[in-house]
Amino acid sequence: MSLEERAQSAGPTPERPHARVNVGQMLLVGAIASALGIALGLLIDWFPVAASEEAGPIDTLWDVLLIASIPVFVLVTTVVLFAVLKFRMRPGEENLDGPPIHGNTRLEVIWTAIPAILLVGLCTYSFVVLEDVEALERDRIEVRVVGEQFAWTYYYDRDGEEVASRQLVLPIDRQVRFTLQSKDVIHDFWVPAFRIKKDAVPGIDVTYSVTPNRLGTFPVVCAELCGLGHAVMRSQARVVEQQEFESWLAEVGQPAQDEEGGDEGGGGGGEADPKALFASEGCGGCHTLADAGTTGTTGPDLDDVLQGKDEAFIRQAIVEPDAEIAEGYQGGIMPPNYEETIPGPQLDALVQYLSEVTQGG
Query: Using CB under 6 A as the criterion, which residues of the chain lie in contact with ligand CUA when the complex forms?
Result: 147, 150, 187, 222, 224-226, 230, 233
Nearer to ligand CUA by C-beta: 164 or 256?
A: 164
Q: How far is the CB of 54 from ligand CUA (least distance, A)?
A: 23
Nearer to ligand CUA by C-beta: 199 or 348?
A: 199
Burial 122-137 (b: 16+ CB within 10 A, else e): eeeeeeebeeebeeee
Nearer to ligand CUA by C-beta: 224 or 301?
A: 224
Q: How far is the CB of 230 from ligand CUA (least distance, A)?
A: 4
Nearer to ligand CUA by C-beta: 140 or 197?
A: 197
Contact 171, 141 (CB under 8 A): yes
Other beta carbons within 10 angstroms of residue 353's beta carbon come to 19
Q: How far is the CB of 205 from ligand CUA (least distance, A)?
A: 17
Nearer to ligand CUA by C-beta: 182 or 211?
A: 182
Q: How far is the CB of 74 from ligand CUA (least distance, A)?
A: 36
Contact 72, 30 (CB under 8 A): no
Rg for the chain, CA atoms, rounded: 30
Is the sign of the CA dihedral 288, 292, 294, 298 positive or negative? Answer: negative
Nearer to ligand CUA by C-beta: 166 or 187?
A: 187
Q: How far is the CB of 238 from ligand CUA (least distance, A)?
A: 20
Residue 128: beta bridge partners?
none
Q: How far is the CB of 147 from ligand CUA (least distance, A)?
A: 6
Closest CA to 359 of 320, 306, 284: 306
Other beta carbons within 10 angstroms of residue 246's beta carbon come to 11
Closest CA to 313 of 275, 351, 360, 361: 351
Q: How far is the CB of 226 from ligand CUA (least distance, A)?
A: 3
Pairing state of beta strands 234-240 and 168-171?
A: parallel
Nearer to ligand CUA by C-beta: 144 or 187?
A: 187
Q: How far apart are CA 136 and CA 134, in angstroms?
A: 6
